Structure 1
Amino acid sequence: MSRLDGAIATITLARPERGNALGPGMVAGIEAALDAAEAAGARCIVLRGEGRNFCTGLDLSGLAETSEGDLALRILRIEILLQRIHALPVTTVAVAGGRVFGAGADLFAACDHRIALEGASFAFPGPGFGLVLGTGRLAGLVGDGTARRLLLAGASVGAARALAIGLATAVVADAAEAVAAAAEAATRLDAATVAALHARTRRADDAGDLAALARSVARPGLKARVEAYRAQATAQRGRG
């Protein structure tokens, strides 16, 4: 779901019943909304999640009927979307509350302004089932050592910790003022200057990240690893 208000485009992940998880339809919808925002001349793109969670990661509904090849393709398409968002020649703002997990945390990390709502939690559990997704972008934000610790542990961190390590750029109870400030800054300079600044201050190895992800999903047993991880996570939630 997307809305354009002057130079500001808001894209809302709108599957709250699935925790706004990234399935093929959601990814295609975000791509289409980005196309529309760029075509309309948006200068600032805001990403939000409907309901209590920003995005809980890869949508695993229908996993039993999904082939290993299709699962791998879905994950690769998410990385391509993340690379597009990270490279956009306009200012991007993510407003995240609730659970911000897996590919959802990578989506948050791909944006310029990363506003965490109080009580939000962040985790990168992909390595738990063998995925190497978005690691270069994460390391660019928080540093190599911190990125390794986050990825190896797979545990969630709260909003205050996310701010302290550079994953979040602000922690607020209400994001309206922070979004307005980011949008004002985005329109203070002309579009060409913003695009040039983004191009010169962006440090990313898109080809390397995509290659690392492709190798990780190409390892035999991807679907089995995902199923085992999901079963383990469900059991842990049940014990909690």
Structure 2
Amino acid sequence: MSLVLASRADGVATLSLNRPERGNALGPDLVEALGEAFERAVAHGARLLVLRGEGRHFCTGFDLTDLESLSDGDLLLRVVRIEALLQRIHAAPVTTLAVATGRTFGAGADLFAVCDRRIAAAGASFAFPGPAFGLVLGTARLAALVGRDRAREVLLSGREMTAEAAVMAGLATAVLPPEDIAPEIARAAAEAARLDPATVAALHRRTTQAEDDADLAALVRSAARPGLKQRILDYRAQVAARRKG
């Protein structure tokens, strides 16, 4: 089974995360598959890149199903590779559009946030739980998107946001019912066809406020603190306890 379903039509490349049984969580194999599919789409001349998730959720964050067998070093490498992928998509020479459905959490919310257009399907929800276990991922990009104070509020509280709240914050650019998503993608495709890849890449460079090297350094420092695995285990136990309660 392909981890990323890819299709191309009329200059639009659609990449769908295809691990619905795990909420499309980002494990190393899915990260690698998405990176390869992204590069192929760009190389084959896509003018609009659409990111979606198969099943109920867009992406529920890190895939930690094998957490018990991982070391702190394994986890560090995983989050660095996710950040590298996020930076590549953020600087893409094509227009990017993400469609969030269901839960869009953690690294999944960061994947959503790096895209130019960010459609929240009605009923979608968003959260950035990484700080709860000491990870600093994509925070400068989020602050550039929603403002410093709102970013701090979202990250420090860890609260879940509705689709409507995400639009008000600037995280999402629209909240739409399912039947309106395809027409919106068609409009985005028509607009994306106006500009050549070199121009899109230049516009992305000149309108990016986050600093990639600084973001990567902050992530590595946070992930390199001793005890990352235990912090994640503790966080997972706390979440499970809240759900039981």
Deviations 1:120-162 (A, max 9, x none): 0000000000000000110011000000000000110100010
Q: Percent identity among equivalent residues?
A: 62
Rounded Cα–Cα distance in structure 1 between residues aligned with 2:45 and 2:60: 30
State the match for 2:114 in structure 1. Answer: 110
The partner residue of 2:149 within 140, 145, 150 is: 145
Aligned to 1:200: 206
The CA deviation at 1:193 is 2.5
Three-state SS of the structure 1 residue aligned to 2:115 is coil
Q: Which amino acid in 2 is paired with 1:12? A: S
Q: Which amino acid aligns with 1:205?
A: E
Contact in 2 for aligned 1:89/1:199 (Cα 8 Å): no
Residue in structure 2 matched with residue 25 of structure 1 by the alignment: 29
Match of 1:224 among 211, 223, 230: 230
Q: Does the CA contact (< 8 Å) of 2:91 and 2:201 recur in 1?
A: no
TM-score by length of 1: 0.97
SS of the equivalent of 1:48 reads strand
CA RMSD of aligned residues (A): 0.9
Q: Which runs of 5+ in 2 are unaligned?
A: none
Alignment partner for residue 82 of structure 1, among 83, 86, 108?
86
What is the deviation of 1:197? 2.0
Give runs of ≥4 in structure 1 deviating > 3 Å. none
1:47 equivalent in structure 2? 51
Deviation string, structure 1 residues 158-187 (Cα, Å, up to 9, x no partner): 000100010000000021111111111100
Q: TM-score, normalized by length of structure 2?
A: 0.96
CA-to-partner distance for each residue in 1:165-223, whole Å, 9 max, x for gaps?
10000000021111111111100223333232222212220000000000000000000
The number of residue pairs the alignment matches comes to 239
Supply the distance in 1 between the matched residues of 2:22 and 2:46 (Cα, whole angstroms): 29
Task: Give, in angstroms, the shift of residue 4 of structure 1.
Answer: 1.3
Q: Which AA in structure 2 matches 1:191?
A: P
- Structure 1 runs not aligned, ≥5 long: none
Which residue number in structure 2 is paired with residue 190 of structure 1? 196
Q: Distance in 2 between matches of 1:216 and 1:152?
A: 15
What is the identity, as a one-letter code, of the residue corresponding to 1:230? R
CA distance in 2, matches of 1:199, 1:43: 17
Q: 3-state SS of the aligned residue for 2:193?
A: helix
For residues 10-68 of structure 1, give each alpha carbon's deviation from its aligned partner in whole angstroms, at most 9, with x where no partner exists: 00000000000000011001011011101101111000000110000000011111111
- Aligned amino acid, residue 232 of structure 2: V
- Aligned counterparts of 1:202 and 1:88: Cα–Cα separation in 2: 12
Deviates more, 1:184-193 or 1:117-126: 184-193
2:42 pairs, out of 27, 32, 38, with: 38
1:162 to 2:185 alignment: no
- The 1-side partners of 2:206 and 2:183 are apart by 28
SS of the aligned residue for 1:100 comes to: strand
